Amino acid sequence: MNQQAGKFYNYVVPPLLFSLLVAACVIHGDATITSPATAHTTEQPPMVTIPEPWLPFVAQTPAKEKAKEGETVVLNCQFHSPRSPSLAKLMVKWYKEDEKGSRDLLENNVTILANYSRAFMSGDLTQGDASLTILNVTASDHGIYFCQVMLSSGKLLTGTGTKLRIRRALA
């Protein structure tokens, strides 16, 4: 029995003592081990970083849209915010860029262009949806459409744009 106790001591006790020694020591980032008595007490920066606060943004999907002349098209615009998704108290603007330059279309569901009643905001602003509907599209409607939201701070958030391509209707 004495021999068995000796074998037990030789195989089990050293690893057990080593793990107790490691548990009693402080392991530094540079892989050195020091006892608690000789460990430095300087305060280290926290290892876990705090993520940036979630920022509001405007999403336009898809990036490209196709329609035939005479069709109705809906260009999606969704406002995302950590505070409130509602756009009811914010200014929403749609503008279009094409070979002629940039033109404002709508501000807060009010058409800016004279004699242009085919475009209007059709989304639910209280849910952050400022989608634009264009009725009876024509070849002149092609271009890149941008949705823009002005925050109460005055900061402008602009979507990435939706490129609208119009195909001619076959006669």
- For residue range 39-98, list pLDDT tens digits in order: 445 555 555 544 345 788 999 999 999 999 999 999 999 998 887 767 778 889 999 999
Of all residues in the chain, the percent with pLDDT exceeding 90 is: 40
Which residue ranges make up each domain of the chain? 57-167
| Higher pLDDT, residue 72 or 1 | 72
Looking at every residue in the chain, the average pLDDT score rounds to: 76
57-167 has CATH 3.40.640.10 classification? no
Q: Which residues of 16-43 are buried (b: 16+ CB within 10 A; e: fewer)?
A: eeeeeeeeebeeeeeeeeeeeeeeeeee
Q: What is the mean pLDDT of residues 97-114?
A: 85
Say if residue 62 is preceded by a cis peptide, omega within 30 of 0. yes
Indicate the residue type of 68: K
